[in-house]
Amino acid sequence: MEVVITPMAEDAARVVADVVAQLVDPRPHAVVGLATGTSPLGAYRLLIAEHRAGRVSFAGCRAVLLDEYVGLPPDHPEAYRSVIRREFADHVDLPPDQLYGPDVWADDLLAACARYDRLLADLGGVDLQLLGIGSDGHVGFNEPGSSLRSRTRVKTLTKATRRDNARFFASAEEVPRHVVTQGLGTIGDARHVVLIATGAAKAEPVARAVEGPLAAVCPASVLQLHPHATVVLDEAAAGGLQLADYYREAYAGKPSWQGL
Catalog residues that contact ligand GLP under the rule CB under 6 A: 35-39, 66-67, 132-134, 140-141, 161, 165
Closest to 42 measured CA to CA, from 231, 196, 230: 196
CA distance 158 to 143: 7
Residue 26: CB minimum distance to ligand GLP, A: 27
Residue 93 among the catalytic residues: no
Catalytic residue among 11, 50, 67, 235: 67
Residue 143 among the catalytic residues: yes
CA distance 233 to 230: 10
Under 8 Å between Cβ of 144 and 137: yes
Catalytic residue among 143, 164, 234, 235: 143
Catalytic residue among 127, 138, 164, 192: 138
- Torsions phi, psi for 148 (to 5 deg): -70, -15
Beta strands in the chain (DSSP E): 2-6, 31-34, 62-65, 67-69, 99-100, 128-131, 153-156, 178-181, 192-197, 229-234
CA distance 142 to 254: 33
Residue 198: CB minimum distance to ligand GLP, A: 8
CB of 57 or CB of 135, closer to ligand GLP: 135
CB of 60 or CB of 236, closer to ligand GLP: 236
CB of 66 or CB of 194, closer to ligand GLP: 66
CB of 45 or CB of 248, closer to ligand GLP: 45
Residue 134: CB minimum distance to ligand GLP, A: 4
What residue number has its CB nearest to ligand GLP? 132
CB of 30 or CB of 165, closer to ligand GLP: 165
DSSP codes joined into one string, 120-187: HHHTT--SEEEE---TTS-BTTB-TT--TT--SEEEEPPHHHHHHHGGGSSSGGGS-SEEEE--HHHH
**How many angstroms from the chain centroid is the CA of residue 178?**
19
Catalytic residue among 136, 164, 234, 235: 136
Under 8 Å between Cβ of 230 and 195: yes
Residue 136 among the catalytic residues: yes
CA distance 128 to 25: 13
CA distance 89 to 84: 6
CB of 83 or CB of 244, closer to ligand GLP: 83
Residues annotated as catalytic (active site), given as ranges: 67, 136, 138, 143
